[in-house]
Amino acid sequence: MDLKSLRLSNLKAGAEDGLEEGQFLAYASTWTREPDSYGDVVAKGAFAETITAWKEGGDSLPILYGHDMIDPFSNLGAAIELAEDDHGLLVKGQLDLENPKAKQVYRMLKGRRINQLSFAYDVLEDGVVDLGDEKTARELRKLKLYEVSIVPIGANQDTEVLAVKANAEAIKAGRVISAKNLDSLKAARDALNEVITTAEKESDNDTEDEASSEASSQGGGQEPKSASSRSKSALAQVAYVSSL
């Protein structure tokens, strides 16, 4: 299951915007041809089947806070309308104002203190699309929608793990990695290989490592950089590359 987010630019919430109390209206996804930080674009019609299944099945499509599926209070409400138009996937949600967390999020929406929606989905069909000017992207053509979340920071502000995924998807989709970024990725790969090699050696030579550590401590020497810190450094390199 993957996540995508969108900054709310046309948000409507509450009676001031012509809606009932506790309701909001916003786009969870748009058909922009500008690839997101994962190198993806969403095709118009990508949600058509999941919307039909939702309408026919009668099940609730939850509105969560921050994709939290554990805390029952993070289940803020449900979508009451889902529709694709010429701009994107339009979601009308009803928040449960008897839930104190939902009530607070609703206040934040109306005050424009929170401004991103995110959704959880699976890709059922995708492909490479030519965007012109020698640009390509992975086009998401059929998606299964699981939930929509109101989030303080969208899922596209990548964590280290998501940064690795973004570069992998870019390569799979046939997009070109610049020479500079490729060199940085190679450096990160080499650093991670060094961490693995070091960890394996340490595992095989526990006794020798302990003796070496004692000698270093008695001699006032500086401790070698740990495998953990080198791993974090390598992951940070990959995260930086994906942000370029």
What residue ranges do the domains of the chain occupy? 2-156, 179-243
Distance, in Å, from the CA atom of 80 to the CA atom of 147, rounded to the nearest integer, reads 12
pTM score: 0.60
Q: Where are the alpha helices (DSSP H) in the chain?
A: 48-57, 100-110, 160-172, 179-204, 206-218, 227-243
What are the angstrom distances between the C-alpha of 21 and each of 10, 81, 93, 170? Answer: 18, 15, 11, 43
Which residue would you say has higher pLDDT here, 203 or 57? Answer: 57
Token pair recorded at residue 136: 């390509």
pLDDT digit string, tens, across residues 98-134: 999 999 999 998 888 887 888 999 999 999 998 888 8
Looking at every residue in the chain, the average pLDDT score rounds to 74
Has residue 173 got a pLDDT over 90? Answer: no
Task: Read off φ and ψ for residue 51, nearest 5 degrees.
Answer: -70, -45
DSSP 8-state assignment for residue 33: S
Average pLDDT on 220-229 reads 47
Residue 136 contacts residue 175 (beta carbons within 8 Å): yes
pLDDT digit string, tens, across residues 6-44: 666 667 887 777 888 999 988 888 888 888 878 899 999
